[in-house]
């Protein structure tokens, strides 16, 4: 394999990994802090993608659509936490699984009612519809680079917020001991609502900005959800750092799996996960 081809696959793997991180970070925080296994997290990804496609058609600009879909996803997440999820904190994990499973069904049907069964695509914005020329025949699309930069920047912002701010302190404290945070007089209801809304917004954002490179299709949330669970578990549940490394690992494993063993590409992701968990039964950073 020549160097440029390898580089392209490497960039693709990193870009996919960073995108997965946006979804998985919310999932891991929601589980780590609130103890909720949120199956509906993939639905926010789908919501973001459909909103971006629909609003891009209405406003004529993908950037405007992405910026608009972000608060909508956050609001939907906040309302769902406040109305439904909040009633289940004291119940068994499996009750929450069942509730969020019910939410998946409703989200999927709502998507079908509002936007139909068709598969849609979104054009890359005019300003970014060009490529970096690597060799005579190979090039790399600018949009993917921008995507990686945006995701990477967000990961940095997240690191800063979690490591340096008061809110981040609550989040870290919540992830290691939920009861203690409540005992120290922190408004846990607000914290949980915010974490859920931020998680939803991040998943929605990932869905929205990925529209030009994937298709907007029914069921897209389910696929992402399962892959993100893999990421979260590899990294160690509740660990944002773990989710970051897990996401890169899975992004690279998936991309290179498709190159080296195309017949068993889907196998590689799950193989990596099984191997990690047999080596470290609680993930890399738990």
Partner 1 sequence: MITHIPKRLAILLLVLLVVLALFPLWGKLVFAAKFTFLMQKLTGIMILAILAMSLDLLVGVAGLVSLGHAAFFGLGGYMLALMSPQYDAANLWLVLPAGLAGVAAAALVVGFLSIRTSGIYFIMVTLAFGQMGFYFFNDSKLAGGSDGAYIYVKPTVEAFGTTLVNLDDKLSFFYVTLGVLVGVYALLRVLLASPFGRVISAIGVNEYRVQGLGFNPMAYKLVAFTIAGTIAGLAGFLAATQYGFVNPAMLGWHQSGHVLVMVILGGMGTLFGPVLGAFVLELAHFAFESLTEHWLLPMGVMVIAIVLLLPKGLAGLLLKWTDRKEDGP
Residues of this chain that bind partner 1 (CB under 8 A): 31, 37, 84, 87-88, 91, 93-95, 97-99, 101-106, 108-110, 112-113, 222, 226, 229-230, 233, 237, 263-264, 266-267, 270-271, 273-274, 277-278, 281-283
Beta-bridge partners for 141:
131
191's tokens: 């914290």
CA 231 to chain centroid: 10
- Residue 101 or 160: which CB sits closer to partner 1? 101
CA 78 to chain centroid: 17
Write down the least CB distance from residue 91 to partner 1, Å: 7
- Residue 57 or 219: which CB sits closer to partner 1? 219
- Residue 206 or 234: which CB sits closer to partner 1? 234
Write down the least CB distance from residue 286 to partner 1, Å: 9
Report d(CA 159, CA 143) in Å as an integer: 24
Write down the least CB distance from residue 90 to partner 1, Å: 10
- Residue 104 or 209: which CB sits closer to partner 1? 104
Spatial contact of 78 and 193, defined as CB atoms under 8 Å apart: yes
- Residue 28 or 211: which CB sits closer to partner 1? 28
Write down the least CB distance from residue 205 to partner 1, Å: 25
**Torsion angle in degrees (nearest 10) through CA of 61, 62, 65, 66:** -150
Q: How many other C-beta atoms lie within 10 A of the C-beta of residue 19?
A: 26
- Residue 109 or 190: which CB sits closer to partner 1? 109
**Torsion angle in degrees (nearest 10) through CA of 268, 42, 208, 113:** 130
Write down the least CB distance from residue 74 to partner 1, Å: 22
- Residue 190 or 261: which CB sits closer to partner 1? 261
Q: Residue 91 gets which letter from DSSP?
A: S
- Residue 65 or 237: which CB sits closer to partner 1? 237
Q: How far is CA 273 from CA 28, 117, 154, 229, 248, in A?
A: 16, 32, 25, 10, 13
Write down the least CB distance from residue 284 to partner 1, Å: 12
Three-class DSSP category at 78? helix
Write down the least CB distance from residue 43 to partner 1, Å: 11
**Torsion angle in degrees (nearest 10) through CA of 128, 134, 139, 145:** -40
Write down the least CB distance from residue 79 to partner 1, Å: 14
Share of the chain residues as helix, strand and coil, in percent rounded to the nearest 5: 75, 5, 20
Three-class DSSP category at 233? helix
Closest CA to 144 of 160, 158, 130, 133: 130
């Amino acid at each position: 394999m020549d160097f440029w081809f390898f580089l392209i696959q490497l960039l693709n793997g990193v870009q996919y990994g960073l995108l997965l991180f946006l979804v998985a970070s919310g999932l891991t925080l929601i589980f780590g802090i609130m103890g909720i296994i949120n199956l509906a997290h993939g639905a926010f990804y789908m919501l973001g993608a459909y909103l971006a496609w629909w609003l891009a058609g209405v406003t004529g600009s993908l950037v405007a659509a992405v910026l608009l879909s972000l608060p909508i996803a956050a609001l939907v997440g906040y309302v769902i936490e406040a109305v439904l999820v909040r009633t289940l904190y004291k119940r068994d994990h499996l009750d929450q699984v069942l509730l969020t499973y019910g939410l998946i069904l409703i989200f999927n049907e709502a998507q079908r009612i509002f936007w139909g069964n068709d598969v849609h695509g979104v054009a890359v914005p005019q300003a970014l519809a060009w490529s970096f020329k690597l060799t005579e025949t190979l090039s790399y699309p600018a949009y993917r680079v921008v995507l990686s930069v945006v995701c990477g920047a967000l990961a940095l912002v997240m690191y800063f917020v979690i490591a340096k701010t008061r809110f981040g302190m609550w989040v870290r404290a919540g992830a290691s001991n939920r009861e203690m945070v409540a005992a120290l007089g922190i408004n846990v209801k607000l914290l949980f609502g915010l974490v859920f809304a931020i998680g939803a917004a991040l998943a929605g954002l990932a869905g929205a900005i990925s529209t030009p490179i994937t298709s907007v299709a029914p069921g897209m949330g389910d696929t992402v959800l399962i892959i993100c669970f893999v990421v979260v578990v590899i990294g160690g549940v509740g660990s944002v750092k773990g989710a970051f490394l897990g996401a890169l690992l899975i992004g690279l494993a998936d991309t290179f799996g498709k190159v080296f063993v195309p017949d068993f590409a889907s196998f590689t992701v799950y193989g990596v996960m099984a191997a990690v968990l047999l080596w470290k039964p609680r993930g890399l950073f738990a």
